[in-house]
Chains A and B, each alone.
Chain A
């Protein structure tokens, strides 16, 4: 079983701030996923990465395979970024393991 830990659990930021959410996992993986869940419950996949770095708009995801660590960065944060961000690992066993999520609130 892969233990996936996220930090921080809760995060409040002022609009425009640079935000970092961290994720660490305990065993080797095939891919690391970042998900976004808005109030109301729907889950959207933001990134899937197995190495290096990916960027989509103001969001950047990085992964360090040797250190078993990934980060999600949000540049120039906006109130519409307020959501729960969840990281998940998928491995050779075809199973997914999830962190408990980071609740982000961006204040105007």
Chain B
């Protein structure tokens, strides 16, 4: 089954404790992206990757890091989480960024205390 998986689905942590949210896709997609969704602000792009070892900042990259060492995986790293990073996070992938359907992961609800 074609899918994007994220882990964990739910996470409660404390300020400053490094964490990683994993994202994996099995569709051999070149493009992968991370978004955060907040009430009243909608979805905003954090980082995206056009292919292995190619990453770029989205609209709200501050406080986040990403890496793309393999085509299927695109982890999101919060080196020192803060309460303003409490949000619902989605990973997505597509064959090409501009003119192809995006496939979304199930979401990760992160709470930073």
Contact = CB atoms under 8 A, between A and B. Distances in A.
Contacts, number: 66
B59 A97 contact: yes
B104 A92 contact: no
A90 B88 CA distance: 21
Instruction: State the majority secondary structure of interface residues on B.
Output: strand
Contact of B97 (A45, A50, A86, A90): A90
B106 A94 contact: no
A101 B42 contact: yes
A8 to B, nearest CB: 15
Contact of A90 (B98, B106, B107, B109): B98
A3 to B, nearest CB: 12
Given A41-B88, A43-B90, A90-B98, A98 B42 contact: yes
- Most A CB atoms within 10 A — which of B43, B58, B88, B107? B43
Contacts of B90: 43
B13 interface: no
B50 to A, nearest CB: 6
A33 B102 contact: yes
Contact of B59 (A1, A45, A99): A1
Contacts of A33: 101-102
A48 interface: yes
Nearest to A42: B106
B107 A99 contact: no
B61 to A, nearest CB: 11
Nearest to A90: B98
Contact of B44 (A31, A90, A98, A101): A98
Given A48-B99, A48-B100, A97-B45, 7 more contacts: A33-B101, A42-B106, A45-B104, A90-B98, A94-B97, A95-B45, A99-B42
